[in-house]
Structures are given as C-alpha cells and as structure tokens.
Chain A
Amino acid sequence: MANTGQTAAESGPATVSSVNSAEGQRRVHLPGDVHMWVMVLGDLIIFGAYFIIFMVFRAMKPQEFLASEQHLNINIGVLNTLVLLASSWFIARSVQATRAGDQAQALRLTYGGGLCGVAFIAIKAYEWSTKIAQGYTISSNDFFMFYYMLTGVHLFHVSLGLLILGITVRELRNPRRRRPFMIEAGATYWHMVDLLWIVIFALLYVMR
C-alpha cells in the first residue's frame, strides 16, 4: 500500500483532475484501491455468513426470537441508524470536497462523520447498559446471544472505522500528502460499516 501511495503522491494533482473529469463523464473509476476492496468484500462475505446463521437459528425458534425482539428499544435502533446514515453522508461529501481540491471543507466533513461515529458508539453503550440492567445478557437466550455478538463485532468495526478516518484526517491535514485514493479508501471502509448496520437493524429490530 505504501508503494502505491508513493506513486499516487508523485502524480498527486494529475490524479485529482483525472478523477474530476471521471465524475463529469461518468467514466469507470475504482474508489480507493484494490487492497481496501479486498478487505471490504471479505468482511461482507463473513458478515453475510453470520446473518444467514442468525436466520437459521431464528427459524428454529421463531416465537422466542420475536418475543425477545420486542424487548429491544426501536427508538434507539432508529436513532442509531439515522446517526450512521448521517455520518456516511458527511464522509461521501468529504470525498467529493477532496476531489474538488477543498481540503478545509473535506476536513470539516470528516470531523462531522467522525462525531456521528462517536455518537453511535455512545448510544450503543447506553443501549447495552439498559439491556443488561433489565437482565438481558448474552446468556439469556439465543436471540440475545446474537444481539450482543452481532452488535459487538459491528461496534469493533465502527472503532476501526474511526481509526481509519483518523488516518484520512492526517492525510488531509498534510499539504504534501492529500492523496485522493487514501480518502476514498477510508470512505469505502466507513460506508461498509454503515451497510452492515443496515442489515443488523433489519434483522434484529424490525423483521417479524
């Protein structure tokens, strides 16, 4: 990744302008780099398997799962989904600002996205603590086992996403770097975190 970065840094301004024209003409462009996509697609496959396993367990005890699902707080679930969607909007706009050469705006947007990410973790921590206080723990039943496992592994990805956003901030703050593909790669990871949450929200909070 460092080698690729060096090449991109050397041809920095050219990369920006070619990406801009790509936007205009709808030309084919892989956001970020192939390494990030390999990681993201691998994560999607692993989470996809978790989701299918969840459904198999749910199919064995549909009543128990549905009754347990009723104990989740849908207000918090919806709020957290809206927070994460807003963070994705910030990050998507930050990539566009980077391409337009407006680093100051890109930085502000990245901070906005990061703050939403922190808010997501805080809300999730509150949700977990209220569930535990109500006596619903990982050992309560299969539904709560999946609830803590899926949201826990996802929360780890949110934290990793925040770390990656920190790297893009460092990139944007350094006038000698600012490699668009780095900003795009960070954004790709962040949107994956959002994408996975959309599925978790549907399976754990909404379906009947």
Chain B
Amino acid sequence: MTTTVARTTTYAWMVLSAITIVSWWLAPSHTRGAVAVASVPITVAVVLLGFIKGRLIIQYFMEVRTAPRWLKLFTDAWLTTLWVGVLAIYLY
C-alpha cells in the first residue's frame, strides 16, 4: 500500500527527523566545559527550522494542506505569530 500519499507522509517524516538531528549540533550543551555564548545566527536558524518543522507537521501530518481555507489561514497565522514573536523578543 505505498500510495503517493503514503510516500509524501514518509518524506515529511524524514525531513522532520533530519532537521532534528541537525539541531543536535546547534544546541549549546556540547560546550559543557566552556560557557555557551549567545548566538544570533544560531537562534535565527533555530527559529527558521522550528517554523519549517511546525509547518510540515501541520500540512502533512494534520492534513491541513487539503483542509478548508479558514484552517490553513488560522494555522499559518499561529505559526507566523509565534515564531516572529519569539525572534522579536529575542532580538529586542
């Protein structure tokens, strides 16, 4: 039963897992000996990756990409407000 829909779900899961593994290198807990330094580029990357992951889950797992327009708009508004808000507070 490997339909196109099934394959798409699996691709989404692979991308999500790959991004998660990349996040491992970005995290500050590797520098356990030294004190971690705040990093704007890393935090911007984390925010971007978090946005992408959230959108993949919403679109492909929650099936919002075939859902009514109001749900697409609401979920996109939620994702955007959240991550823009997080980044704005961080940079401020």
Interface residues of A (CB under 8 A from B): 22-23, 26-31, 37, 41, 44-45, 48, 51-52, 55-56, 58-59, 62-63, 66-67, 69-75, 77-78, 81-82, 85-86, 88-89, 91-93, 95-97, 100, 102, 105, 184, 187-188, 191-192, 194-195, 198-199, 201-203, 205-208
Contacts and interface: CB of A to CB of B under 8 A. Distances in A.
Which 6 A-B residue pairings sit nearest by Cβ, starting from the closest?
A: A202-B50, A89-B13, A55-B89, A74-B27, A208-B39, A191-B61
Contact of A96 (B3, B29, B31, B68): B3
B46 A207 contact: yes
A102 B6 CA distance: 14
Contacts of B29: 69-74, 205
- B-side interface mostly: helix
Contact of B89 (A59, A72, A206): A59
A97 B50 contact: no
Interface string B44-60: 00110110011001101
Contacts of B47: 202, 207
B14 to A, nearest CB: 9
Given A30-B71, A89-B10, A195 B43 contact: no
